[in-house]
């Protein structure tokens, strides 16, 4: 009868149940050893949380031979044991062997683990069952017939949310036989060993590179190393990298992955010892059918290969040129245009005069306006770069991914609209429409500049994407310089208009028509506010709309009160001011409250508003379609991106486009960046961008093609046609 | 729920500034960089901030009295001895409990004081970080998880208490205690030789 001893240091063992289990186990062992006299049965150790046993694969072992043992944990549901790197907490099982002279036990082998999230942390471990194989070798000079007695003292940690260290002693006696070659397999254990081998790594991958990537670390793995036994390439449906030791990566961080040019790229978040820990680990891959394989990866540290040749940086001089050009064109985009029309009015009103006084005034205004634009762009750039340095995946227009900012913008447009329509005088100074008061004009021009920059965010002009995408890869002073160049481009037309008197003289004479135009301009502002409310509805659902509409009412009420009380005696005016302030604070509070609202799930119908049936973008879906040689059209968009929406209306909703998509079997993948989404930010970064829109067409064969940010039906049709089979293009 | 309302009120108070304070993941603390600030109440109701400890050497110890790894170091008197050694050397020793309400290790101020008395522990104070804000700011992952901060407020050590990641008290004798090593390096005016190690223990019960 084999002794079963449970280490007494384990205070958690319930002695009553343990001894009952012991008795039953002993009975079973007794029966088994009567039936198979040569069999070495398991020594189960049963605790509250696991049943552990050490078993041998074969009935006996020949001297000079090696056989596999298995340490098996049957784990209580909801509880876990751990992999060799347990992740953020936990501890792997450990064995202390007591072996006869000459007998040797190899290391514990580790089946592929799973990621076990624990709040904000993550562990690598096993649920339900963990089987660790161990090779045991018996020396050639071992006397035949003499059994091999081995003893293993095992410590393991088992956790649900709480952790319990447990231990057990396992004794195993292996008969030795003279048989040459492996002894028969123990039929009772065959399944255990077969299943255990399924979980072991399927191979080892050479040539992997770990390097610094845009958002942290990147692991690039040659995908041909992932081929199946038949030698076919594996269609990857999921991938995860388990770092071999603590400190290399943040275990709980997401791991966005994609296949580019036959290489699997995995984005990793660096751990506390990212530059010292060994760049090794286990890669677990699920194919499209859900079959899982794992590979040992020993990566080399080094620079990551470029993704796609075309995505090489555009270079510094070109980036500055593109930024300036993009800024200039931004003036014509629908976001900024109404603000500029207002600015033009103020120029005509106050500054078309003659003489040195008027000329000096004009110059001052032009400079103040430019300063306003640059000031806001600098602030935005610093924030953007700081957030990126802090590890956040953000890009152009990122502030609109934050619902309270959208609300704030809606308020701004609404108030400007009210002011233009003549419902109140507040804000007129900001927009320098008062005109007559020359002293306040400079501050007003500065405000208009800041406003123009503020409202530019939802629009992307051509050239801008490439310039900004390149900027964020540079050191911060250069990145800031490129952002400021963009701002300068935006300010340039008015600066020129102010500085060169000849241009100013070309402006029409002031007159009554200006009041009409001013009032008419209120409507683009209201339209913008209405559109922002719609953006918010996409971000937060109807609850957010309720909050912002409530906020708008409060805001209007507050401003009306202010209007009505401003000419009253001072005591009552103070009351009016207090009431107005509370209304403003209330409106802001409602706006900020939208942050708590979760994004609603978009239905398929809403996703395909442009008339084309689309699927939501995921790296997995794209990789699968590429593998299947299906053409793919990727559209990265956001509800707050006006340029994106215009493109969808103009270029993507035509019936010709829909027909051509279905004829060519194009898969239309749409990535929605309305709310923050690291996978989409990573995709944009790979294409040298940090903002939407981005359109990429993947022909069935050959390199993907990036389409312009201002899209036409013709461009889309041409791209698809050129890839169609039989076409000459 | 209460937490969410409270958060919104705080955010609402700084409405416009908050428009720019995005819900961005805080960067992980780095050795050699300023340690993250905190503002947490101790068992006596006093608020502790890192700013208030300027000029002092500080040791932070994340703890959970029911965690077997913590038990290893308290049942053996190892942690208490280290606390006395550190406070005698002029360190401020803050034991931090980041267990959320209802989770393992969560205690009332009175329970925390009883634990200190019963175990003969000698921290300067026990901080009750029930919200987990301080734990997340420090990226505290396990109990114990140790941090050493120099008088300039720079984080100089973060990681495990020693190099024997077990629950066996017998392992303490042969272990290299990283906190003690860091204290010795600081006392000698040297940079900490082993500034980052793997913290071992139970997960922090956020």
Q: Residue B84: its pLDDT value, please?
A: 96
CA A146 to chain centre: 61
Mean pLDDT of B173-179: 94
Q: Per the domain annotation, does A709 fall within a domain? A: yes
Same domain, A358 and A481: yes
Domain extent, residue A711, equals 604-723
Q: Per the domain annotation, does A589 fall within a domain? A: no
Chain A contact set for B168 (CB, 8 A): 9, 155
Q: What is the pTM of this model?
A: 0.52
Q: Per the domain annotation, does A9 fall within a domain? A: no
Of A521, A548, A582, the residue that ends a domain is A521
A7–B contact, CB cutoff 8 A: no
CATH number of the domain at B28-203, please?
A: 3.40.30.10
Q: Residue A435: its pLDDT value, please?
A: 39
A405–B contact, CB cutoff 8 A: yes
pLDDT tens for A478-512 read: 888 988 999 999 899 888 888 877 776 776 777 77
pLDDT tens for B92-127 read: 999 999 999 989 999 999 999 999 999 999 999 999
Residue of B nearest to A409 (CA): B19
Are A399 and B20 within 8 A, CB to CB?
yes
Burial (CB < 10 A; 0-12, 13-18, 19+), residue A162, is middle
Distance CA A585, CA A478 (A): 38
What are A322's two structure tokens? 């593109």
Residue of A nearest to B141 (CA): A88
**Which among B2, B16, B22, B165 is the top mutation candidate for probing chain A, defined by the most A β-carbons within 10 Å of its own β-carbon?**
B22
Distance CA A264, CA A564 (A): 66
A391–B contact, CB cutoff 8 A: yes
Are B141 and A121 within 8 A, CB to CB?
yes
Task: Let me know: does B106 contact A90? Beta carbons within 8 Å.
Answer: no
Domain ranges of chain B: 28-203
Distance CA A27, CA A22 (A): 9
For residues A9 and A42, which has the higher predicted lDDT (pLDDT)?
A42
Distance CA A361, CA A368 (A): 10
Mean pLDDT of A164-187: 80
**Contacts with B, A 165-184, CB within 8 Å:** 165
Share of chain B above pLDDT 90, in %: 80
Distance CA A134, CA A106 (A): 6
Q: Residue A83: its pLDDT value, please?
A: 96
pLDDT tens for A613-662 read: 788 888 888 888 888 888 899 998 887 777 787 788 778 877 788 888 88
Task: Let me know: does A709 contact A426? Beta carbons within 8 Å.
Answer: no
pLDDT confidence of A7, banded at 50, 70, 90? very low
Q: Residue A391: its pLDDT value, please?
A: 57
Which one, of B165, B150, B160, lies nearest residue B194 by Cα? B160
**Which among B202, B204, B205, B206 is the top mutation candidate for probing chain A, defined by the most A β-carbons within 10 Å of its own β-carbon?**
B202
Task: Let me know: does A126 contact A73? Beta carbons within 8 Å.
Answer: yes
Rg of chain B over Cα atoms, rounded to whole angstroms, equals 17
Same domain, A239 and A159: no
Q: How many domains would you assign to chain A?
A: 4
**Which among A159, A247, A272 is the top mutation candidate for probing chain B, defined by the most B β-carbons within 10 Å of its own β-carbon?**
A272
Residue of A nearest to B160 (CA): A89
Task: Let me know: does A217 contact A268? Beta carbons within 8 Å.
Answer: yes
Which one, of A45, A256, A244, lies nearest residue A155 by Cα? A45
Q: Residue A229: its pLDDT value, please?
A: 45
Q: Residue A423: its pLDDT value, please?
A: 77
pLDDT tens for A91-118 read: 999 999 999 999 999 999 999 999 998 8
Catalogue the E-assigned strands of A112-268: 114-118, 121-127, 129-137, 148-159, 163-174, 203-205, 209-213, 216-222, 236-243, 257-260, 263-268
Which one, of A638, A330, A609, lies nearest residue A491 by Cα? A330
Of A521, A536, A563, the residue that ends a domain is A521
pLDDT tens for A15-30 read: 333 344 444 444 444 4
Task: Let me know: does A687 contact A314? Beta carbons within 8 Å.
Answer: no
Of A304, A322, A353, the residue that ends a domain is A304
In Å, what is the CA distance from B198 to each residue of A85, A253, A718, B60, B142?
A: 11, 17, 56, 16, 10
B25 closest CB neighbour out of A89, A391, A404: A391
Same domain, A32 and A101: yes
Residue of A nearest to B142 (CA): A89
Chain B: residues touching A (Cβ < 8 Å)? 4, 8, 11-12, 15-16, 18-20, 22-28, 66-69, 103-104, 136, 139, 141-142, 158-159, 165-168, 196, 198-206
**Which among B14, B19, B101 is the top mutation candidate for probing chain A, defined by the most A β-carbons within 10 Å of its own β-carbon?**
B19
Same domain, A261 and A343: no
Residue of A nearest to B159 (CA): A272
- Tokens 């231990």 identify what position? A167
Q: Per the domain annotation, does A640 fall within a domain? A: yes
A595–B contact, CB cutoff 8 A: yes
In Å, what is the CA distance from A260 to each residue of A242, A289, A475, A683, B11?
A: 21, 20, 27, 11, 42
Question: How close B189 comes to chain A (CA, Å)?
Answer: 24
Chain A contact set for B206 (CB, 8 A): 119-121
Does residue A710 have a pLDDT over 80?
no
A255–B contact, CB cutoff 8 A: no
Chain A contact set for B104 (CB, 8 A): 161-162
Q: Residue A599: its pLDDT value, please?
A: 57
3-state secondary structure A601-661: CCCHHHHCCCCCCCEECCHHHHHHHHHCCCCEEEEEECCCCHHHHHHHHHHHCCHHHHHHH
Which one, of A387, A116, A121, lies nearest residue B132 by Cα? A121
pLDDT tens for A339-365 read: 777 777 776 665 555 667 777 777 888
Fill in the DSSP letter of residue A142: S
**Contacts with B, A 95-124, CB within 8 Å:** 118-121, 123
Q: Per the domain annotation, does A538 fall within a domain? A: no
Q: Would you say the ipTM is above 0.85?
A: no
Same domain, A166 and A249: no
Are B15 and A402 within 8 A, CB to CB?
no
Q: Per the domain annotation, does A249 fall within a domain? A: yes
Question: How close A579 comes to chain B (CA, Å)?
Answer: 17
Q: Per the domain annotation, does A701 fall within a domain? A: yes
Does residue A307 have a pLDDT over 50?
no
Residues in chain B: 206
Residue of A nearest to B65 (CA): A162
Same domain, A242 and A123: no
Question: How close A88 comes to chain B (CA, Å)?
Answer: 6
A598–B contact, CB cutoff 8 A: no
For residues A35 and B91, which has the higher predicted lDDT (pLDDT)?
B91
Are A391 and B165 within 8 A, CB to CB?
no
Q: Residue A297: its pLDDT value, please?
A: 92
Are B166 and A155 within 8 A, CB to CB?
yes
A90–B contact, CB cutoff 8 A: yes
Taking all residues of chain A, what is their mean pLDDT, rounded to a whole number? 78
Are B25 and A595 within 8 A, CB to CB?
no
How many pairs of residues across A and B have Cβ atoms under 8 Å apart? 110
Does residue A145 have a pLDDT over 50?
yes
Are B66 and A162 within 8 A, CB to CB?
yes
Are B23 and A402 within 8 A, CB to CB?
yes
Does residue A206 have a pLDDT over 80?
yes
| Cβ atoms within 10 Å of B97's Cβ, excluding its own | 27
| Cβ atoms within 10 Å of A220's Cβ, excluding its own | 22
Task: Let me know: does A122 contact A88? Beta carbons within 8 Å.
Answer: yes
Distance CA A332, CA A477 (A): 28
> Which residues, in sequence order, are CB contacts of A256 under 8 Å at separation 6+?
A266, A267, A619, A678, A679, A682
- Residue A270 sits in a domain whose CATH number is 2.60.40
Question: How close B120 comes to chain A (CA, Å)?
Answer: 22
Does residue B129 have a pLDDT over 80?
yes
A88–B contact, CB cutoff 8 A: yes
Mean pLDDT of A597-626: 66
Q: Per the domain annotation, does A375 fall within a domain? A: yes
What are A453's two structure tokens? 């920059």
Chain B contact set for A120 (CB, 8 A): 136, 206
H-helix or E-strand containing A563? helix A542-565
What are A161's two structure tokens? 């949310």
Strands of the A263-268 sheet, one edge to the other:
A257-260, A263-268, A216-222, A209-213, A300-301
pLDDT tens for B54-86 read: 999 999 999 999 999 999 999 999 999 999 999
Same domain, A719 and A642: yes
């Amino acid at each position: 009868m084999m002794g079963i001893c449970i280490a007494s240091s384990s205070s958690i063992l319930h002695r009553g149940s343990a001894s009952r289990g012991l008795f039953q186990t002993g009975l079973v062992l007794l029966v088994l050893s009567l039936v198979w006299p040569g069999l070495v049965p398991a020594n189960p150790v049963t605790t509250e949380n696991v049943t552990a046993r050490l078993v041998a694969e074969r009935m006996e072992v020949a001297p000079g031979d090696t056989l596999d043992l298995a340490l098996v944990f049957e784990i209580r549901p909801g509880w876990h044991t751990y992999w060799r790197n347990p992740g953020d907490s936990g501890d792997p099982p450990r064995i202390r062997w007591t072996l006869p002279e000459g007998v040797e036990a190899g290391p514990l082998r580790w089946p592929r683990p799973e990621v076990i999230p624990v709040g904000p942390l993550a562990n690598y471990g096993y649920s339900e069952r963990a089987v660790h194989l161990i090779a045991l070798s018996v020396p050639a000079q071992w006397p035949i017939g003499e059994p091999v007695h081995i003893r293993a003292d095992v410590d393991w940690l088992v956790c649900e949310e709480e952790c319990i260290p447990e231990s057990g002693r396992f004794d195993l006696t292996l008969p030795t036989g003279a048989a040459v070659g492996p002894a028969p397999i123990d039929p009772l254990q065959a399944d255990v060993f077969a299943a255990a081998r399924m979980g072991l790594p399927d191979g080892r991958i050479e040539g992997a590179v770990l390097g610094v990537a845009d958002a942290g670390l990147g692991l690039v793995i040659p995908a041909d190393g992932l081929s199946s036994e038949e030698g076919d390439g594996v269609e990857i449906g999921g991938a995860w990298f388990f770092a071999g030791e603590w400190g290399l990566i943040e275990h709980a961080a997401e791991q966005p992955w994609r296949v580019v040019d036959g290489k699997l790229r995995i984005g990793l978040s660096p751990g506390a010892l990212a530059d010292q820990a060994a760049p090794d680990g286990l890669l677990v891959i699920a194919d499209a059918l859900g079959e899982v394989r794992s590979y040992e990866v020993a990566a080399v540290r080094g620079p990551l290969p470029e993704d796609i040749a075309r995505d090489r940086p555009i270079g510094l001089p070109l980036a500055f040129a593109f930024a300036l050009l993009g800024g200039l064109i931004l003036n014509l985009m629908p976001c900024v245009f109404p603000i500029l029309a207002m600015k033009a009015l103020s120029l005509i009103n106050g500054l078309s005069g003659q003489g040195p006084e008027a000329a000096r005034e004009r110059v001052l205004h032009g400079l103040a306006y430019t300063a306003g634009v640059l000031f806001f762009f600098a602030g935005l750039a610093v924030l953007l770069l700081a957030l990126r340095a802090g590890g956040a995946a953000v890009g152009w227009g990122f502030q609109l991914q934050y619902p309270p900012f959208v609300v704030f913008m809606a308020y701004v447009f609404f108030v400007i609209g009210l002011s233009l329509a003549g419902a109140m005088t507040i804000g007129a100074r900001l927009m320098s429409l008062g005109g007559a008061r020359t002293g306040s004009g400079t501050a007003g021009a500065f405000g208009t500049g800041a406003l123009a920059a503020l409202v530019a965010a939802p629009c992307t002009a051509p050239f801008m994407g490439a310039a900004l995408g390149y900027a964020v890869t540079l050191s911060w002073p250069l990145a800031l310089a490129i952002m400021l160049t963009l701002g300068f481009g935006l300010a340039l037309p008015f600066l020129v208009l102010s500085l060169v008197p000849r241009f100013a003289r070309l402006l029409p004479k002031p007159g009554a028509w200006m009041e009409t135009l001013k009032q008419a301009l209120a409507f683009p502002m209201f339209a913008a506010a209405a559109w922002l409310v719609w953006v918010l509805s996409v971000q937060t659902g109807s609850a957010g709309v309720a909050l912002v509409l409530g906020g708008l009412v409060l805001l209007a009420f507050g401003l009306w009160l202010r209007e009505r009380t401003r000419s009253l005696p001072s005591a009552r005016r103070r009351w009016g001011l207090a009431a107005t302030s509370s209304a403003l604070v209330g409106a802001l509070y409602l706006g900020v409250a939208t942050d708590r609202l979760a994004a609603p799930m978009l239905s398929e119908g809403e996703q395909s508003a442009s008339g084309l049936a689309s699927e939501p973008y995921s790296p997995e879906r794209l990789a699968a379609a590429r593998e299947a040689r299906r053409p793919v059209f990727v559209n990265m968009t956001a509800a707050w991106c006006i340029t994106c929406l215009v493109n969808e209306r103009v270029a993507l909703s035509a019936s010709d486009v829909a027909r051509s998509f279905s004829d060519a079997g194009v898969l239309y993948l749409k990535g929605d960046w309305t709310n923050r989404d690291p996978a989409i930010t990573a995709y944009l970064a790979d294409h040298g961008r940090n903002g939407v829109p981005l359109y990429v067409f993947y022909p069935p064969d050959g390199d993907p093609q990036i389409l312009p940010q201002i899209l036409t039906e013709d461009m889309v049709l041409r791209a698809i046609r050129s890839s169609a089979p039989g076409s000459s293009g | 729920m209460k937490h969410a309302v409270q958060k919104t009120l705080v955010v609402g108070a700084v409405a416009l500034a908050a428009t720019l304070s995005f819900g961005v993941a805080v960067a992980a603390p780095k050795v050699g960089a300023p340690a993250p600030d905190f503002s947490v109440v101790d068992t006596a109701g006093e608020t502790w901030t890192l700013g208030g400890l300027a000029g002092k050497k500080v040791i932070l110890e994340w703890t959970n009295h029911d965690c077997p790894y913590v038990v290893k170091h308290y049942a053996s008197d190892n942690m208490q001895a280290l606390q006395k050694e550190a406070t005698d050397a002029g360190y401020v020793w803050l034991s931090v409990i980041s267990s959320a309400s209802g989770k393992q290790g969560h205690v009332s101020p009175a329970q925390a004081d009883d634990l200190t008395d019963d175990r003969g522990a000698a921290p300067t104070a026990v901080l009750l970080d029930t919200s987990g804000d301080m734990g997340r700011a420090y990226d505290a992952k396990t109990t114990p998880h140790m941090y050493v901060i120099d008088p300039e407020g720079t984080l100089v050590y973060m990681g495990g208490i020693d190099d024997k990641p077990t629950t066996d008290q017998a392992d303490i004798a042969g272990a290299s205690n990283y906190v003690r090593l860091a204290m010795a390096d600081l006392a000698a005016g040297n940079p900490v030789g082993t500034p980052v190690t793997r913290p071992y223990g139970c997960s922090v019960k956020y």
